């Protein structure tokens, strides 16, 4: 498969009044053509910083890339100037932001905002750009696009504004689309429609997608692979089946256990990960998750674990995978969630009943 993106040992920090926040701490992953990679984790885990860095949108200063490479089609984005990035943003890499109301220009008609991308990156004439803007609005499922193209963002509903944002992001046919929690501000019905729309458009356009979310329920429906982030690092990465049905990192177990369930036998149960993420102005020694990990060993507080390989596509950053570590099974709440998901999505269960 063709690699669209290679991120190698990426490190990003921010200089603040209290010191230097190490927001991204040595991240590695690849993205392939036509693939959707979901990046999940708690608020503050570094998801959005990672993806804004890929587009070089972090403010510098106070932010800075302190190490690593971001190879997009073989070219290192880290070394590119702002002028060079202007030719890439919107044309080759686009982003759908979390809140379309604050991302769309309230003083410009929606059609003009789509046309801006076409005029700049596709070298279209004004009338041609307007016709294409109407086509894009129709493509993303906005009714009466000939009328809507001349309306302002405040005349659109929340779901329609998000669809307009997707139209803008796709206007120049980018090879990489970054979706930063695009459904967070929407109700569940509209959320499902937007997710289905993105899956459909990806098939039609063969675009690679990085999908940022804290909602594992969303991940199950859209992703090919999943990267779990904690304290500025990827702690587990694998196919969606591996992460949901054979998770290996205790943090991933905690995220799965905390997913809301409609299972009538366990309505009162609401799992939570104890404690809070570490202060990244002074990252802890050893495993950053150790203080919140009920399975932590002495080595977790002394030495950072490497990324252990479980399969060709599955890796996890935990000492529990060391050959000398005690064998620890996922908690019963996680196994129950895995069995529930297996029945919902008709997948095999990789844990034995009763264990």
Claim to verify: residue 158 and residue 302 sit in the same structural domain: no
Contact 224, 36 (CB under 8 A): yes
Claim to verify: residue 83 and residue 230 sit in the same structural domain: yes
The number of domains in the chain is 2
Which residues, including other chains, have CB under 8 Å from residue 163's CB and lie 6 or more apart? 137, 140, 141, 142, 194, 197
Q: Is the pLDDT of residue 353 over 60?
A: no
The answer to whether residue 110 is domain-embedded is yes
Claim to verify: residue 232 and residue 275 sit in the same structural domain: yes
Write out the residue range of the structural domain in which residue 264 sits. Answer: 33-57+79-92+180-355
Claim to verify: residue 217 and residue 165 sit in the same structural domain: no
The answer to whether residue 327 is domain-embedded is yes
Claim to verify: residue 124 and residue 160 sit in the same structural domain: yes
Which of 2-16, 72-86, 329-343 is least confident? 329-343
Strands of the chain, DSSP E? 3-16, 19-32, 36-40, 63-72, 75-76, 93-96, 176-180, 208-213, 225-230, 233-239, 308-309, 315-316
Contact 167, 136 (CB under 8 A): yes
Claim to verify: residue 160 and residue 190 sit in the same structural domain: no
The answer to whether residue 299 is domain-embedded is yes
Residue 225's nearest CA partner among 35, 27, 32, 37 is 37
Claim to verify: residue 272 and residue 138 sit in the same structural domain: no
pLDDT at residue 259, rounded to an integer: 78
Q: Is the pLDDT of residue 11 over 50?
A: yes
Please return the burial class of 91, using the count of CB atoms within 10 Å of its CB with bins 0-12, 13-18 and 19+. Answer: middle
pLDDT at residue 217, rounded to an integer: 75
The answer to whether residue 3 is domain-embedded is no
Domain end among 110, 145, 173:
173
Rounded CA Rg of the chain: 21
pLDDT digits (tens, 9 = 90+) for 122-173: 888 999 999 999 999 998 888 999 999 999 999 998 888 888 988 888 888 8
Other beta carbons less than 10 A from residue 200's beta carbon: 13
Domain end among 173, 203, 233:
173
Q: Which residue has the higher pLDDT, 161 or 341?
A: 161
The answer to whether residue 281 is domain-embedded is yes
Query: Which domain CATH number covers 46?
Result: 3.40.50.300
pLDDT digits (tens, 9 = 90+) for 12-56: 999 988 899 999 999 999 999 989 999 999 888 999 899 899 999
pLDDT at residue 147, rounded to an integer: 94
What's the whole-number mean pLDDT along residues 322-342? Answer: 81
pLDDT at residue 355, rounded to an integer: 35
Domain end among 150, 173, 196:
173
The answer to whether residue 345 is domain-embedded is yes
- 343: confidence class by pLDDT, cuts 50, 70, 90: low
Claim to verify: residue 354 and residue 225 sit in the same structural domain: yes
pLDDT at residue 261, rounded to an integer: 65
The answer to whether residue 153 is domain-embedded is yes
Question: Could you give the percent of the chain with pLDDT greater than 70?
Answer: 92
Claim to verify: residue 308 and residue 203 sit in the same structural domain: yes
- 293: confidence class by pLDDT, cuts 50, 70, 90: very high
pLDDT digits (tens, 9 = 90+) for 216-263: 777 887 889 999 999 999 999 999 999 998 999 999 999 988 877 655
The answer to whether residue 17 is domain-embedded is no
Claim to verify: residue 229 and residue 110 sit in the same structural domain: no
What is the model's pTM?
0.88
pLDDT digits (tens, 9 = 90+) for 173-200: 889 999 888 777 667 777 777 788 888 8
**Mean pLDDT over all residues of the chain?**
87
Question: Could you give the percent of the chain with pLDDT greater than 90?
Answer: 54
Claim to verify: residue 189 and residue 167 sit in the same structural domain: no
pLDDT at residue 347, rounded to an integer: 55
Claim to verify: residue 203 and residue 329 sit in the same structural domain: yes
């Amino acid at each position: 498969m063709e690699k669209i993106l290679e991120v190698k040992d990426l490190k990003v920090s921010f200089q603040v009044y209290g010191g230097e926040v190490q927001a991204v701490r040595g991240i590695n992953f690849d993205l392939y053509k036509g693939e959707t990679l979901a990046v999940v984790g708690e608020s503050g885990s570094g998801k959005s910083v990672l993806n804004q860095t890929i587009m070089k949108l972090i403010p510098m200063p106070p932010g800075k890339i302190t190490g690593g490479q971001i190879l997009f089609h073989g070219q290192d984005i880290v070394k590119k100037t702002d002028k060079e990035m202007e030719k890439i943003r919107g044309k080759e890499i686009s982003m759908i932001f979390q809140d379309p109301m604050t991302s769309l220009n309230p003083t410009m008609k929606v059609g003009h905002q789509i046309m801006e991308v076409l005029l700049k990156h596709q070298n279209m004439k004004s009338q041609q750009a307007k016709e294409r803007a109407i086509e894009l609005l129709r493509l993303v499922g906005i009714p009466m696009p000939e009328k809507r193209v001349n309306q302002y963002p405040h005349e659109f509903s929340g779901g329609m504004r998000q669809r307009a944002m997707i139209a803008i992001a796709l206007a120049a046919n980018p090879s990489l689309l970054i979706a930063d929690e695009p459904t967070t501000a929407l109700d569940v019905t509209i959320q499902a429609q937007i997710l289905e729309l993105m899956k459909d458009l990806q098939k039609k356009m063969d675009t690679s997608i990085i999908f940022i979310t804290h909602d594992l329920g969303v991940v199950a429906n859209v992703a090919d692979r999943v990267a779990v982030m904690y304290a500025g690092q990827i702690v587990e990465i694998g196919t969606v089946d591996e992460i949901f049905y054979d998770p290996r990192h205790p943090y991933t177990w905690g995220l799965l256990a905390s997913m809301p369930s409609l299972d009538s036998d366990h309505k009162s149960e609401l799992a939570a990960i104890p404690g809070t993420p570490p202060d990244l102005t002074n990252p802890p020694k050893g495993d950053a998750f150790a203080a919140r990990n009920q399975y932590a060993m002495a080595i977790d507080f002394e030495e950072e674990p490497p990324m252990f390989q479980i399969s060709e596509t599955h890796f996890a950053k935990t000492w529990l995978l060391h050959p000398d570590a005690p064998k620890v099974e996922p908690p019963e709440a996680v196994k129950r969630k895995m069995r529930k998901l297996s029945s919902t999505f008709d997948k095999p269960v990789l844990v034995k009943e009763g264990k």
